[in-house]
Structure 1
């Protein structure tokens, strides 16, 4: 069924010169791609300059961003050659190029969306605190890779000669529209499912038990949950797949599908990059812990850093807390999280006396800068007596509650 105002021209193609959505396609896709590129570039600065800790998630995200930039170039070219217009309004010499570029953009964004999710999965692996979550995330990443490869082959093998999609001189021997739509719906459904898993279902319970302060926990959950916007874009795209290709007006029917495909991919890049920007946000805005400064003595705080306080009430308590801060505790989610964003420092000092802390090889060190507050209680202590009898004399048992202020320095 043709839209109102659309007629069939002398070549048998839909036509309505008053309708041209090319500028809308270019404006929407270019804006979100530039925003994603800015976010990605900032992420790269944090990882290379501030943190100096580049991981697998950064490589995945770099590849996804490169694919999105390439895809944006292809979309721009397809607009020049007719995308967003009715096929009857496109010069016949431009039509094959426009159709070819429209086809090329499909596998580009298919791969880019998958790699973006692999980057998010690799980010979650950095802070996964149990084997269950690590295995679950790796399983989802493997599944995404497998079905994306399958979708790629369905796209490039849908015709005996793929050139038939843009060259009318080649005999059409392609899968039916119903088959292609079924495959498209399957791909979108799996994308929505994996978006929900990586944006909400896995991060919320996993980060909820992460051994970091509450504001940090909520900021991470919020940043990763922005991936749900990619899920929303996939939902919206489903509505435009229903009428795609019904009248053979391919470059007109694909306009909204192209917009929301680009939105889905670049929104995923933005959401997946935000957690990596925490060190930059801390440097600019401070943290929930506040700013502190440490000096070499006197319990005063003079050096820049992020300040927080723990109270250690016994020798055994002291050991257990220090053990939890130690880099040797490979199962510590706090160590995993600190390694995610901080550099290695190894100095440990106290304000009034030097205390031997366990050497750390991990990314953060804790500077004890003050020890204070003690109380005393009267007790009976055994005393040596000269002569045959032994007695007891009043004495003092000193129980010390030590408050250790320390600074976790960030590069």
Structure 2
């Protein structure tokens, strides 16, 4: 809305009763928060019920959605107490509460944005196939945690007594607006940089060389690249920081900043949750399209794909002392492997398990530029103990994820 009708009332505050952006703030933030909550709940259904495999990225995302929902409640309260209206149009007894809630929402979403990116970083760690990418991702995650901590302290320590931000009776002894704006611009710039790194710059080359079929590769790249929308939201937010607080009309000036901050965080949650929904998409598409029958190695309308883990022992060489596989990259890469055109029975081994389930053990081919990685021979899943003999040597227990089709009764 235009500010052309704003006047200064008898209390020296800007006023224009015709302008009220409270409903717009609530509608925009509540809509995107609801979508993010649906994406998160679907993600946890897949992880807890379908694949029964919860990881660090899920814990980060759970914390992020808890912060976002809490922040949405704070924003709702701030709207009740005047957010989206001019200061002169808010009852005097409500201004202090509105300003306080507006302030409280800032560190909540500051931390929520960081935790969301940590969740995306942890997702990338699941599929990182070399030490280079793992170290790079961990370095970015550590950097995000470091600069977010710094930003948090600049927010809460900007005044000698932080209550001065919402209580006019307390003397103002705060940093200048130019200093605070400079810090805000720095925070936004770092957010944009890390968004680009985690959404495009790292995933595309890393997934491009991942040994999975083309459909899987492109679906993962597309899902993670949606995080670029969070970057776009951060760019848009910069334009509203320019005039923030120039006239002291804080609850009016913050309306678009609040909307795009919530957009940035929730878009990251949605984009970060999409890769985890692939088993659900495979189940739904497999049922609707009818992939032949299980005996031919294809998904049927009465079956579903599930990922699980099994422990195998990789023998170490007594001469070289090196393991035959890079167990770290193999374990993580397996979480996002799918059967190549669902024809695992022909190339990778097949055996019957309990309850008539058919297991397909996919062959690992995770190669690293800085370590020796050899191909793992197809495993046979057997209900009995491993009785194969062999030379004595050092063994190491590793975790490997396998796909299997479980037939429903």
Pairwise TM-score range, normalised by the shorter structure: 0.7 to 0.9
The match for 2:172 is 172
The match for 1:238 is 238
Q: State the distance in 2 between where 1:82 and 1:92 align.
A: 10
- CA deviation after TM superposition for structure 1 residue 364, in Å: 1.3
The match for 1:398 is none
- Any idea what the Cα deviations from partners look like across 1:279-317, whole Å, max 9, x if unmatched? 000000139x9834334xxx79797467xxxxxxxxxxx
Q: State the distance in 2 between where 1:70 and 1:37 align.
A: 12
RMSD after superposition: 2.8
Q: State the distance in 1 between where 2:98 and 2:299 align.
A: 64
Q: Tell which structure's C-alpha radius of gyration is larger.
A: 1
Q: State the distance in 2 between where 1:78 and 1:305 align.
A: 46
Distance change in 2, residues 1:266/1:328 (3 Å): farther
Contact 2:109/2:265 (8 A) holds in 1: yes
The match for 2:350 is 348
The match for 1:9 is 9
The match for 1:330 is 326
Q: State the distance in 1 between where 2:83 and 2:3 align.
A: 17
- CA deviation after TM superposition for structure 1 residue 410, in Å: 6.8
- CA deviation after TM superposition for structure 1 residue 357, in Å: 5.2
Q: State the distance in 1 between where 2:272 and 2:20 align.
A: 34
- Any idea what the Cα deviations from partners look like across 1:308-344, whole Å, max 9, x if unmatched? xxxxxxxxxxxxxxxxxxx9743586753333578xx
Contact 2:127/2:334 (8 A) holds in 1: no
Distance change in 2, residues 1:175/1:357 (3 Å): closer
Q: Is residue 364 of structure 1 aligned with residue 364 of structure 2?
A: no
The match for 1:85 is 85
Q: State the distance in 2 between where 1:160 and 1:259 align.
A: 29
Q: Is residue 257 of structure 1 aligned with residue 253 of structure 2?
A: no
- CA deviation after TM superposition for structure 1 residue 66, in Å: 0.2
The match for 2:308 is none
- Report SS of the residue matched to 2:48: helix
Distance change in 2, residues 1:50/1:341 (3 Å): farther
Q: State the distance in 1 between where 2:299 and 2:274 align.
A: 31
Moved >6 Å (runs of 4+): 299-303
The match for 2:121 is 121
The match for 1:397 is none
Q: State the distance in 1 between where 2:109 and 2:299 align.
A: 51
Q: State the distance in 2 between where 1:194 and 1:305 align.
A: 36
Q: State the distance in 2 between where 1:117 and 1:270 align.
A: 12
- Any idea what the Cα deviations from partners look like across 1:188-222, whole Å, max 9, x if unmatched? 00000000000000000000011111011000000
Q: State the distance in 1 between where 2:120 and 2:299 align.
A: 38
The match for 2:358 is none
Q: State the distance in 1 between where 2:34 and 2:14 align.
A: 33
Contact 2:129/2:333 (8 A) holds in 1: no
Q: State the distance in 2 between where 1:300 and 1:62 align.
A: 36
Q: State the distance in 1 between where 2:128 and 2:298 align.
A: 34
The match for 1:221 is 221
Identify the structure with bigger relative contact order (alpha carbons < 8 Å, sequence gap 6+).
Answer: 2
Q: Is residue 40 of structure 1 aligned with residue 40 of structure 2?
A: yes
Distance change in 2, residues 1:217/1:84 (3 Å): same
- Any idea what the Cα deviations from partners look like across 1:94-122, whole Å, max 9, x if unmatched? 00000000000000000000000000000
- Report SS of the residue matched to 1:93: helix
Distance change in 2, residues 1:409/1:328 (3 Å): farther
1:2-401 equivalence runs, <5 A: 3-286=3-286, 291-295=291-295, 304=303, 329-330=325-326, 336-340=332-336, 348-349=350-351, 358-359=379-380, 362-364=400-402
Q: State the distance in 2 between where 1:59 and 1:202 align.
A: 22
Give the TM-score normalised by the residue count of structure 1.
0.77
Distance change in 2, residues 1:84/1:347 (3 Å): same
Runs of at least 5 residues in structure 1 that lack an aligned partner in the other structure:
307-326, 351-355, 366-407
- CA deviation after TM superposition for structure 1 residue 347, in Å: 8.4
Contact 1:231/1:264 (8 A) holds in 2: yes
Q: State the distance in 2 between where 1:106 and 1:409 align.
A: 47
Give the TM-score normalised by the residue count of structure 2.
0.77
Q: State the distance in 1 between where 2:113 and 2:297 align.
A: 51
Contact 1:102/1:251 (8 A) holds in 2: yes
Distance change in 2, residues 1:111/1:300 (3 Å): closer
Q: State the distance in 2 between where 1:71 and 1:32 align.
A: 13
Contact 1:293/1:305 (8 A) holds in 2: no
